[in-house]
Structure 1
Amino acid sequence: MRHYLLALAVSLGLALPAMAQESETPTPQSVAGELFGLANSYIGQGDHEAAKRTLEAALALKPGHPAILRGLFIVARRAENAQDAFDALDRMVAAGLVFDASSGEELLRAADSARFDALQATLEANAAPVGRAERIARIDMPDALIEGVAMDIETDRIFLSSVARREIILLEPFARDEPIVFADREDGLWSVFGIAVDDRTRMVWAASGVVPQTPLEEGEAEGTALFAFDLMTGELYRRYEIDGAQQMADFVVRDGMVYVSDSRAPRVYLLNSVSGDLEVLAEDPRFVSLQGVALARGALYVADYAMGIWRVDLGDGSVSLVRPNDVSLIGIDGLLNTRDGRLVAVRNGSRPHQMMAIDLNADGTAVDNVEVLLRDHVDMTPGTEPTLVDLADGRAWLVANAAWPLFPEDGSDPDQERPATTILEMDLR
């Protein structure tokens, strides 16, 4: 990796920042961050060509990153280079992003007014409504901060994870508007993130940990663990911990095996059976902020909020970044797979927020196609974000409007009222 990063810098006529050169293990994230800072320095010096080359180097490490694409537009505008500004907007359009280009309107209209109008219209179209979904539950618990959803197909019960109340919430099919506490802090739960129902083990699985929004008792110890509860009784079956874990975030369950991501440690864990223990499946310094997990084409796919999607070989544990097409894979939170190996992703770290299907190439190493499944639904309200999704029986269930932006880390009350949480159901067939 070190030789690759140095070669990339040389090929673009750049010198890596001192920190990256001296580091024993430079990563794409660390080098891209330093290059981004270096570009800002070049902009301040008025060296727009060097700023452009530096940002291109950062983009090669983090394809489709919205902030880097915006940086390229800003550099072009300041250099009064209309062609480069148009190119940056073209790339944003292809990445499926939205952007207000009005700051460069005078420059671009003078160069090609028709092209500017067309790009503006396409950027706006990137945020237009797509797909249909039905509201199946509305949970009026504004203090809960609901993150995840899991459907039990056999009983039609819905399980929800709460960050701020430290609970697993149950919705019965005959009383969707009457939430029941299925498990809580008395069972050892901290904030609950990923959640799943496993038909084979008949367990409700939950990943739990601590974030600034976690209400801890005075002197209470922090921690993170994977929990298994009996699906029918709600009794805690077992709590799984592993040394070095920092925040178990999300997971996928298949054939009684659980694959778990850690959002604050560069690790993916494996639990081989309900009677087993967690072990490290993959550990890689290139991991930045791991989120949703999926199994497809004989490999494990893990969303990285800052980098895209990683492919973990289940045979030798080797890790590689899935090669994207033009569509940005930055900011993916939820990730699961359909039975036919399609990845379904929820993107909330790049705008527009959306749920999309990702088709991989034959060997699962690159993206062939991306299809937007749901965007700008009436329940995907401003000031909130879609988070996790569950898939079963050709359908998808989505937390449409988690109120993360309305839960300040310092515990203060937000300026606006927190909305009720909406669960959407979508037919994928």
Structure 2
Amino acid sequence: MGKTLTMRNLLAAAGLAALINLPALGQASAEGPASALPTPQSIAMELFGGANSALRSGDYESARRMLEAALDLKPGHPAILRGLYRVATSAERPGDALEVLERMADAGLGFDTGNEIDALGAADASRLAAVQARLAGNVTAAGRAERAARIDRPDALIEGVAVDIETDRIFLSSVANREILMLEPFAPNDPVVFADREDGLWSVFGIAVDDRSRMVWAASGVVPQTPLEASEQTGTALFAFDMMTGDLYRRFEIDGAGRLADFVVRDGIVYVSDADAPRIYVLNSISSQLELLVEDPRFVSLQGLALAHGALYVADYAMGIWRVDLGDHSVSLVRAGDESLIGIDGFLNTREGRLIAVRNGVTPHQVMAIDLDATGHAVANIDILLRGHRDMAGETEPTLIDLADGRGWLVANAAWPLFPEDGSAPDTPRPATVILELDLP
């Protein structure tokens, strides 16, 4: 009993704050700007803070209720589920702790039960063994992929990939070197510079090839890892380059933009998300200007976009997936199934309307195929396409993906964790970047 009480007191003293990491509930840089009006994000953060205070004071039931309310606002959020587990173990409620672990398993998450395993096993050994097996199964390798390229430029911080299916060229976006790289099919491991800072590029994030216009599109902006000259102007813009010559065709900017980062192109129309402001933009043709499509304070950290079921879908790293009606521009959160939709970065659609999502910042990293129901407002099914690949291991993360001809090309191991914001070099060597190719079912 003495050991159990000591552990409970330690857990209560530590509180919930240590559970907050990416995708965090309270990181302004990752979660977007605060809103003056209450939003699901701001309410959830307030509830999380209240739960932390209640836990410290030993009011476990209040802490549990506040976390459950936060989870209703942010379904499947790993930090909230971990908080519920902390509350249950601190309150010495093994049944509640096992129930939370089962919810984590349902959400497709991995989790280490830690030092509480003895108490949980004493309460219900068979139930604990079953949920541990499910949690372990969530992190086992799944799917197949082959290396399409290996780029030995560890200081480039490659984020995005785009494939021209007609020429088999692969284009890559570099954050730290401020350039677009190109791989020829006869030299898949030897990139050449397609465009760089001399073309006005800051860090390059999303990238795409438009078969219709024969343009290479790139979104560019500034993050702490962007190398800037002392007097250099900062900004953000969407760039269009001639695919064959590499010449800059046009540069598109819009007032009020924070950081253009991800986009999707269809029939010459470009939809662009803002990673640092709750806004989505549209470019209706290459001869037009960027316009505001929708602004919604509920947006937190917008990432990739997809077009399916007659609507625009946008991944929100901290909230899940938003559906934007292209007629009246109304916005609603897609109803998730059991699988967590938190931490989605890369996000595109197949011709058949499946949503292909790359999840990072959550254990496990994986590529998912998401089927929506007939209304397009709810998840009907999720298939795991890739998880646990050897090139997705280590202190790296998969980021963006491109789709063509029933295949996907994935940046498997972007080294974001190894690029400190202060520009210092990490102790761990940065690996070569691997592009994986996988078949889509």
2: distance between equivalents of 1:258 and 1:239?
13
- Tell me which of 342, 357, 379 is aligned to 1:330: 342
2: distance between equivalents of 1:107 and 1:304?
37
Q: Deviations over 1:104-155 (max 9, x none)?
A: 2122111111111111111111000000000010000001000000000000
2: distance between equivalents of 1:310 and 1:118?
34
After TM superposition, list the pairs within 5 Å mapping 1:10-25 onto structure 2: 25=37
Q: Counterpart of 2:240?
A: 228
Q: Deviations over 1:32-76 (max 9, x none)?
A: 011001000000010000000000000000000000000001100
Q: Counterpart of 1:164?
A: 176
2: distance between equivalents of 1:182 and 1:176?
14
| Shift, 1:103, TM fit | 2.5
Q: Counterpart of 1:115?
A: 127
1: distance between equivalents of 2:281 and 2:427?
39
One-letter amino acid of the counterpart of residue 249, structure 1? A
Q: Deviations over 1:157-209 (max 9, x none)?
A: 00000000000000000011211000000000000000000000100000000
- Tell me which of 56, 59, 64 is aligned to 1:47: 59
2: distance between equivalents of 1:42 and 1:129?
39
| Shift, 1:102, TM fit | 2.6
Q: Counterpart of 2:90?
A: 78
* Structure 1: 5+ residue stretches without partners: 1-22
- Tell me which of 135, 138, 145 is aligned to 2:150: 138
Tell me the number of residue pairs that the alignment of Structure 1 and Structure 2 aligns.
407
1: distance between equivalents of 2:120 and 2:436?
41
Q: Deviations over 1:249-284 (max 9, x none)?
A: 100000000000000000000000000000011100
After TM superposition, list the pairs within 5 Å mapping 1:233-312 onto structure 2: 233-312=245-324
Q: Counterpart of 1:91?
A: 103
2: distance between equivalents of 1:255 and 1:172?
26
Determine helix, strand or coil for the equivalent of 1:205: strand
- Tell me which of 406, 415, 421 is aligned to 2:427: 415
- Tell me which of 392, 401, 405 is aligned to 1:389: 401
CA gap of 1:202–1:69, structure 2 versus 1, over 3 A, is same
| Shift, 1:338, TM fit | 0.3
- Tell me which of 361, 365, 375 is aligned to 2:377: 365
Q: Counterpart of 1:36?
A: 48
One-letter amino acid of the counterpart of residue 427, structure 1? D
One-letter amino acid of the counterpart of residue 44, structure 1? R
- Tell me which of 161, 169, 175 is aligned to 1:149: 161
Q: Is 2:358 the partner of 1:346?
A: yes
* Structure 2: 5+ residue stretches without partners: 1-34
1: distance between equivalents of 2:285 and 2:36?
37
Q: Is 2:407 the partner of 1:379?
A: no
Q: Is 2:80 the partner of 1:68?
A: yes
Report the RMSD for the aligned CA atoms in angstroms. 0.8
Q: More displaced, 101-110 or 276-285? A: 101-110
One-letter amino acid of the counterpart of residue 147, structure 2? R
Determine helix, strand or coil for the equivalent of 1:379: helix
Q: Is 2:437 the partner of 1:425?
A: yes
| Shift, 1:24, TM fit | 5.6
Q: Counterpart of 1:7?
A: none
Q: Counterpart of 2:189?
A: 177
2: distance between equivalents of 1:80 and 1:397?
47
2: distance between equivalents of 1:407 and 1:295?
32
1: distance between equivalents of 2:241 and 2:76?
40
| Shift, 1:381, TM fit | 1.9
Determine helix, strand or coil for the equivalent of 1:69: helix
Structure having greater relative contact order (Cα 8 Å, sep ≥ 6) = 2
